Structure 1
């Protein structure tokens, strides 16, 4: 099933992305210090471009999580007492520190994940912006006005930290998803224990190394390990007041079940299957060009990826021709093979097998490959950028999250069919509408059951606006002031002032 239409650009003579000196301490980070694990078990960290082991980190246990939670509990009162200005200044200092080390962080991210340097640099840039936004937002929080809502009783609304937050981050955006959680969690006055993906812990540990002197001990703690052990203990721990996860639907269900016993809050961002509705009056060239990025950014390992096109039957042939032209021109390669590399490998052998499995089953079901269609030769977990057409309604590849460089194309006859089929997936994170008709764009966006709907664009993010989904994509919001609300609680204090 190996495709012959794409080759992987290699960099055998290029300088290594990182040296041993660029690696962080390969340990847990607890109470302001890097510590060994409670056992000698180690996890291999693999470069997916070469399949070489680049580092080994300790396999965290329930005991390691307990130690980290205890540190976070000790630190929470002091951090919560700081006024917003003081926490804001710390977050600005964190942003400055990350910005000062932007290039080595980007190279470390690419070495661990295989993502092109352009993607890693964008991740670092948004990491800085996320801390800067939250540093400002915490100083401008709002709530209902104090006042007499019952006779002779003054009501005052307070926003308080929750306490200790458990955070579990994914492998596709290790540094950025950590920032999306750490920044609002700290801004709201909480402390946290974070478990990064066992596959991609390096930039999270590097972040801890870089900012260790800026945060009081115990405010930020990181424990490496697997979800079934370290993650499960974090979710069930009675001293953790909230668990926040970005990951798979399977992982979200497990976390929610574990959290139920202690009735802690749960924040879940669980991925998507974003429909792209292209109407007959759309700018087809602009849509195809946008999907070159939005469908294949981070090699399609992106929960908001424009992965499921629904195009009006009258323009489908023209649109597919333009889309295939864009996709077949994508540069696939190792991150060190050039600044113009656009698509890297899948993050792991297991995920590579998962993505190629979807392609194999689609081929057996009669789905036609317009370009790409399978794995690429050589070392590394590379899959050719793929466009699948003649996709029937309800096909597995069009309903389930492939999470790779794969875009499917279906057709529709009218608006009713387009909306019905767009909504007929279990996930509801994001979608886009492509039309030059302003009335249609408003009407269709209002009927789509997705947390973010773009009009004539896709995968454009900003720190000021919320990110999160509906249905199987979970609940809670990242970014924006809504994230600060998620990581705090509301207290009503009523004073009887009658005389």
Structure 2
């Protein structure tokens, strides 16, 4: 089969101006860290140094929390319609600066510009628009006649969707009258710092949003600070457990959105071509750096050969390379540490007897952090690649014969974040979805999100919901 060749279509880096260094955003202004500590941020595609950012310590966390506490009174006292105006302004500014932010996100994170441009930025703006609409309607949200804000929210976000995860957390917090201290991931701090500038451009009152850059120690200081009333965390299950232990026995409210090992279940009556596109989107979108990625493919035995042949043909067409090339399908792995984790688990898959397949046409760049899209067959439930979250472009294939076996295998995991079902029978969709222990179940699609739809998991995938009306509850005293 001949593969259509695409000429390079690079997005210009000139649309974004990255400063050589950035401070912490506290009480409406940028300032250096109290201890003058800094750390670099690099492009995972080229390993080039993009900038350096301040490393917040305990004194900086305390200053940010105090600023948020001071701002809380006036901000929470504003009528909802007035708070909504600020959220609308932020949403419009995100739209106006979307090209700039998309390039920045792809540079700092490694994801393809097509995904930053077409998914991350529109969704981030949509969340601020959506929660702006709720700001003056909270008494009608079903949480009582006079729901009140919790106070100061400490929010810690991951590196896989830096700006979008920021929007998921900041928008409902502000709409409900809370103030925020947010810590972005150590490897992807730049879009959060650009968002701080958007807050100033929108005229947001000082101290309502504060942004602290740093590593895990900064996040731990923020979570443990006695002035925090609400903790929201998205990230690994291991860190989520540590946060839960920290806040246990305190007044702090907690929501956790953690790891996943989603099952994508394909029945024998599924539309094969449509299912293949859903499988590819489910595991190779954002290099597999997705907590709800469909990393386990459960395919009915009678169509296994046909489906895998079609899937391999589709994988041969995936383009891996420069994240700023608009033709790129799979970008760079976010960090050297994450690449090492993916390689370790892929090697474990081979060692335990699974069959590894990668497209022969896939050539990886010589510089940066890269991993080819990978398919494992003959996978057993006991294999590490079937049990552990890889968080990379690696798909494990298992088979089943009956719907009951599919459900049993899908639920045989400590996680419970998402799942997918592919079949032409509506009754089967409803029956199987009802039995799956997953917070989100997609039918004949995968990785579809909307600000009005709640998202969250069961078991080791965390608790609480973000998005939709349900996402308001964690930020309200009801």
TM-score, with structure 2 as normaliser: 0.94
Match of 1:106 among 102, 105, 108: 102
1:139 aligns with 2:128: no
8 A contact 2:16–2:100 mirrored in 1: no
Question: In terms of Rg, which structure is larger?
Answer: 1
CA distance in 2, matches of 1:25, 1:489: 39
Q: Does the C-alpha gap of structure 1 residues 95 and 277 become closer, same or farther in structure 2, counting only changes over 3 Å?
A: same
1:144-159 alignment to 2 at 5 Å?
157-159=145-147
8 A contact 1:300–1:405 mirrored in 2: yes
1:54-203 alignment to 2 at 5 Å?
54-121=50-117, 122-142=119-139, 157-203=145-191
CA distance in 1, matches of 2:20, 2:101: 10
Q: Does the C-alpha gap of structure 1 residues 487 and 138 become closer, same or farther in structure 2, counting only changes over 3 Å?
A: same
1:150-299 alignment to 2 at 5 Å?
157-213=145-201, 214-227=203-216, 229-299=217-287
CA distance in 2, matches of 1:375, 1:449: 38
Q: Does the C-alpha gap of structure 1 residues 23 and 10 become closer, same or farther in structure 2, counting only changes over 3 Å?
A: farther
Match of 1:444 among 402, 408, 432: 432
CA distance in 1, matches of 2:342, 2:335: 11
Q: Does the C-alpha gap of structure 1 residues 131 and 313 become closer, same or farther in structure 2, counting only changes over 3 Å?
A: same
1:364-443 alignment to 2 at 5 Å?
364-372=351-359, 376=364, 378-443=366-431
How many Å apart are 1:393 and its aligned residue?
A: 2.0
Partner of 2:38: 42
Structure with the higher strand share, 1 or 2: 1
RMSD (Å) for aligned C-alpha atoms? 2.1
With 397-406 and 137-146 compared, the bigger mean Cα shift is at 137-146
Report how many aligned residue pairs link the two structures: 471
How many Å apart are 1:358 and its aligned residue?
A: 0.8
Q: Does the C-alpha gap of structure 1 residues 295 and 145 become closer, same or farther in structure 2, counting only changes over 3 Å?
A: closer
Q: Does the C-alpha gap of structure 1 residues 18 and 113 become closer, same or farther in structure 2, counting only changes over 3 Å?
A: farther
Q: Deviations over 1:343-380 (max 9, x none)?
A: 01110000000001111111111111232599945111
How many Å apart are 1:27 and its aligned residue?
A: 0.8
Q: Runs of 5+ in structure 1 lacking a partner?
A: 1-5, 147-155, 491-499
Q: Does the C-alpha gap of structure 1 residues 422 and 80 become closer, same or farther in structure 2, counting only changes over 3 Å?
A: same
8 A contact 1:108–1:202 mirrored in 2: yes
8 A contact 1:25–1:34 mirrored in 2: no
Partner of 2:305: 317
- Higher normalized contact order (CA 8 Å, seq sep 6+, divided by chain length): 1
8 A contact 1:23–1:108 mirrored in 2: no
Partner of 1:303: 291
Secondary structure of 2:343's partner? Answer: helix
8 A contact 2:16–2:104 mirrored in 1: no
How many Å apart are 1:119 and its aligned residue?
A: 1.1
CA distance in 2, matches of 1:209, 1:24: 16
Q: Runs of 5+ in structure 2 lacking a partner?
A: none
With 180-189 and 272-281 compared, the bigger mean Cα shift is at 272-281
CA distance in 1, matches of 2:11, 2:364: 24
